[in-house]
Amino acid sequence: MKPVLFAVTFTKDIYTQGLKQKCPESIPDLNCFLTSDYDIKRCRKNDEICMIESASHFLKYISGGIPSLNIKSIDPIIANDFEGDSARLTYKFTNNSITGFARCDFKHIK
C-alpha cells in the first residue's frame, strides 16, 4: 500500500477569531498560533522525530474540527464528486465519505 499524502492549509482569516495570543503579521504567525493555543512543540526543520510527534499531537485536535475557527472535522471527509481518467480507466465517484484520517500514523515528514 502506498502512503497517502495530505496537507492542511490555513488562511489568515482564522486570526480574526479572538485568539489567546496576538501573533505577528508574518509567515511564523501560524506557528505562533499553533504552539500557543494547542501546545504544539516547535521543531527544527531537520528533526523528523520531533515533527512526527508534533504532527501526531496536532492531529488529535484537528481531527474533530475546531468550530471556533470554522475548521471542519477531517474524519470523515465528505468529498461530493470527483472523476478522472487514464489510458485504460475512466472513473467518477459521487457522494463520498472518506474515513480514517484521525487514525493516521505519520511515518516520514519532510
Per-residue buried b or exposed e for 10-21, using 16+ beta carbons within 10 Å of the residue's own CB:
eeeebbeeebee
Question: What are the per-10-residue average pLDDT scores of the chain (110 residues)?
Answer: 40 40 42 55 84 84 78 79 85 85 82
The SS3 of residue 22 is: coil
For residue 18, what pLDDT is reported?
42
Extents of the domains making up the chain: 46-110
Only one residue has cell 501560524, namely 30
Using only the alpha carbons of the chain, give its radius of gyration.
17
pLDDT for position 37: 58
> For residue 77, what are the contacts with CB-CB under 8 A and spacing of at least 6?
97, 98, 99, 101
